[in-house]
Structure 1
Amino acid sequence: MTTATQVHSSSVFLVSGGAKGITSLCVKKLAQQQPCTFILLGRSEILENEPEFAKDCFEEAALKKRIMENLLAQGEKPTPMSVQKIYNKIASSREIKQTLAEISATGAKVEYLSADVTNVAELQQKLAATVARTGAITGIIHGAGNLADKLIEKKTDQDFEKVYTAKVQGLENLLNCVNPNQLEQLVLFSSVTGFYGNIGQSDYAIANEILNKSAHLFKQKHPNCHVVAINWGGWDSGMVTPELKKAFAERGIDIIPVDIGTQMLVNELHPAHHDSTQVVIGSPTIRPPAPLDAELKSYRIRRRIVLEANPFLYDHVIAGSPVLPATCAMSWMINACEELHPGYRYLSCKEFKVLKGITFANSNVSEHILEIQELAKQESEFVELQTTILSKTPEGKTHYHFRAQIKIVRKMPEAPIYESVNFTEDNIITATGTDFYQKDSSSLFHGPAFQKITRVINITPEKITAECYWASISAQKQGQFPINWHNPYCNDLSTQPLWIWLNHFHQEICLPGQLTHSEQFRALPCDEIFYVSCEVKAKTATGVTSDYYIHDREGKIYSRILGAKAVIWPMRMMNK
């Protein structure tokens, strides 16, 4: 049994890269929430006394002019490099002093050490005297890092060492300076680059993925320590110019607002997240699009889908057997199409059909195959693809499981508004949250990974409106079906209101069969409220057809599923 730890007033954090940049902003936010003690590490030195020419001069151009004048007065020839070097030294010292002042203003104690995290001897020597004053270090925040972005064929050994050692050797050295058994928190600033990859950052991806794996390894050895590797996306900081923001927007990459990102760090250190060892905060770093080949190509992708590698399947059990959700099959199709065509994003799916579900009870299938055939494409506009998931038995018999046409586009259209929003509460169905799930044969069978409908706002013979909230799950639980642009877990949740409608009016239940057309305009929300308006179009003895609109409070649509056909399923089969 592990013991949840919490940041407290006597906590002592050792923070690499903590005096400047994003790491310093995170430390300030943490100090505001819980004043304690921080030892900040950085390579820059603090200028106790600034040069006379720099005093009361804070505008960059003006300060550089004074630097040039001072060099000339000393008989030196100013060069852009020499001027920039002096400017950086002054600006860096000022930023560090400001960080120290702002942290102190919260009531926290803070010290700064000029030390290189890649030099363990220097680090240990300088820390010894500091720790004698502050007390033993109880937490580490490793935020130090370097970049050397280049295509891999242009990278030098020095580039790799610069990037790799700050992250990996830096972590090893920090851990060598403390008693790991006394650590209550270990926070590693990793990157979405390590999780998703990014062009020109092979070394940075390697270093950050090693941080991710190191977090899991340290957690195994020290289960009482709150360990988390945060895979940050890009921050809305000074490094992200308006031009870069525009480029990110065109590539569908969200950036993290500073106030939200810093609060997320504080949230991750809450004891409730004690066992979340790796989290991803930010969008995938989508590669710029490559030119489309005129030839219509085909692909075959093989995957061994096993129960042990996909823990979420234990939350999707039908008739006693774990079953792959149709939304996960669709997600595999979508993700593969996007990965084969960098820079293009999923917009729509047509004629999705469940031909034969994939179950994991006594399965003798060793692998599943995803076949992809390009149907049409237009440069910088779209690609349309036919996708099929199939498998073969040891005897050579082919089973077709799912089929769909996927369309990916270069530029997403504006999200439309659902004009028939109705939030009038009728109080007909009073159950809430988990009351809808796993109570009896008429309840929704879904486990936590696919929950939950928080409440039914209103219900009529033609329509049901539900409020939903999907709590994000760990990357480990997502297994081979990670959340990218398409979220299979939240999409599954979005179709569940029909089950409640069908059970309420007809005392029947259903499972997905096929859909005519589906579109996604925005990423479905995680850890926040959204709404599903399900319009029932037809009901027969064997099935029900409906349209789903997933939207926010203002009616702005995240996605819509039109002509969805569900198959009536005998209640007695659910618990068989």
Structure 2
Amino acid sequence: MERSLSGLVAEPIVADHIIGDAPVLPAVVALGWAIGAVERAHRSEVREVRDFSVYKGIVFDGGQPEAVRLEMTPAGDTTKVAIRSVAKDGAARPHYAAVTSTVVPAAATVSGLPRLGGGRDAAELYADGTLFHGPALRGVRRVLAEDEKRLVLECALSELRPDGGAFAGARFAPGTADLLLQAGLVWMRLFRGTAGLPLSVAKAELHAALPDGEPFLVVVEPGERNAASGGAGDRLTVSACGADGRVLTRLHGVCVVPAPHMEAKFRQ
């Protein structure tokens, strides 16, 4: 499949995802395209995604590709997805990759969660260099529990569906999903003292669609240090839950690397 990028920069999910002075395609938009494309091609719901990686993010700075290609390679109940662009000299440039699956993940719950409405207001996170997101993506509302072993945030966001839902699946929409990656950046700021960037997700479990405009909880728990980045990054488990603790979406092995050089751009 091939898509033009010309209209995306005007979509709020991109226009409010600016680092420094240039809009950057959110990784969740690429992931949503992979999920949605596989679902439409195979007429079945994607329930898990493995090995999602960002090789070269797309920055709308005038040098972005005019179009990107998505290639699907099915194998049993999985489909390998590669998103690439082709340079003028014919060379392929990889941007994102993932492996989708129709295998249904086991139901999960998180116990001992705080109630909605407590804790402290999270608005300052969008002003102090922790998060760089503009108004359309500012869905982290409150910090409910602030511990390195378990950070709990209250989130709510009216869903963003760029290009009429072309970058979404039955159980995945990119706007609310971006809040899970934002939660990883909040954890990095609070417990590593620096800005961070998410580079990959080992596995995503899609249990149910996230609430559209209604509050839900996001729980961040650390795993082992990321050996692939020389020990400099952290691997986090990020779970979006209902108020009753039922897991809606869970991301395993979210690799967040420290990016102190990005702090000024985040504040900008």
TM-score range for the pair, normalised by the shorter chain length:
0.7 to 0.9
2:46 match: secondary structure: strand
Aligned-residue offset at 1:309: 5.0
The 5 A counterparts of 1:19-418 are 301-306=1-6, 307-308=8-9, 310-342=11-43, 344-376=44-76, 383-408=77-102, 412=104, 415-418=107-110
Deviation string, structure 1 residues 447-490 (Cα, Å, up to 9, x no partner): 233221111111112220111111234x5786753564311111
| 2:152 paired with 1:481 | no
User: Residue 534 of structure 1 corresponds to which residue in structure 2?
Assistant: 220
- C-alpha contact 2:148 2:221 (8 A) present in aligned 1: no
Instruction: Tell me the residue number matched to 1:447.
Output: 134
Deviation at 1:421?
3.4
Amino acid at match of 1:451: R
Q: Deviation of residue 573 (structure 1)?
A: 4.2
What secondary structure does 1:496 align onto? helix
Instruction: Give the % identical residues.
Output: 27
Structure 1 351/476 Cα, relative in aligned 2: closer, same or farther at 3 Å? closer
Alignment of 1:567 with 2:261, yes or no, is no
Whether 2:242 is the aligned partner of 1:544: answer no
Q: State the shift of 1:493 in Å.
A: 0.6
Residue 320 of structure 1, CA deviation? 1.7
Count how many residue pairs are aligned between Structure 1 and Structure 2.
260
Task: Rate the CA distance shift 1:362–1:450 in 2: closer, same or farther, 3 A.
Answer: same
Amino acid of the residue matched to residue 335 of structure 1? G
Letter in 2 for 1:498: G
Q: Secondary structure of the equivalent of 1:421? A: coil
Where in structure 2 are the equivalents of 1:421-436 lying within 5 Å? 421-423=112-114, 430=120, 432-436=121-125
C-alpha separation in 2, matches of 1:497 and 1:308: 24
Question: Hey, what's the Cα distance between the residues in 2 that align with 1:421 and 1:357?
Answer: 37
Q: 1:512-523 maps to which residues of 2 (within 5 A)? A: 512-523=198-209
Q: Deviations over 1:246-305 (max 9, x none)?
A: xxxxxxxxxxxxxxxxxxxxxxxxxxxxxxxxxxxxxxxxxxxxxxxxxxxxxxx00111
Contact 2:115 2:243 in 1 (8 A): no
Opposite residue 28 of structure 2, the aligned amino acid is T
Q: Quick one: distance in 2 between partners of 1:310 and 1:422?
A: 35
Counterparts in 2 of 1:332 and 1:537: CA distance versus 1, 3 Å: same
Report the TM-score when normalising by structure 2.
Answer: 0.88
Shift of the 399–524 alpha-carbon distance from structure 1 to 2, 3 Å rule, reads same
Note if contact 2:189-2:195 (Cα within 8 Å) is conserved in structure 1. yes
- Alpha-carbon contact 2:157-2:212 (below 8 Å) kept: yes
1:122-169, Cα deviation, whole Å (9 max, x unpaired): xxxxxxxxxxxxxxxxxxxxxxxxxxxxxxxxxxxxxxxxxxxxxxxx
Tell me the distance in 2 between the aligned counterparts of 1:334 and 1:328: 10
After superposition, the Cα gap between the structure-2 partners of 1:556 and 1:506, relative to the gap in structure 1 and judged at 3 Å, is same
Determine the C-alpha separation between the residues in 1 that align with 2:224 and 2:115: 24
- Code of the residue aligned with 1:338 in structure 2: it is E
What is the Cα deviation at residue 539 of structure 1? 4.5
Aligned with residue 466 of structure 1, among 150, 153, 156: 153
Q: Distance in 2 between matches of 1:308 and 1:367?
A: 13
8 Å contact kept, 1:521–1:557: yes
Which one-letter code corresponds to 1:385 in the other structure? T
Tell me the distance in 2 between the aligned counterparts of 1:309 and 1:569.
27
Conserved? CA contact 2:140–2:154, under 8 Å = yes
Look up the SS of the partner of 1:395 in the other structure.
coil
**Retained in 2: the 8 A contact 1:310–1:478?**
no
Which ranges in structure 2 are unaligned for 5 or more consecutive residues? none
Gaps of at least 5 residues in structure 1 are 1-300, 377-382
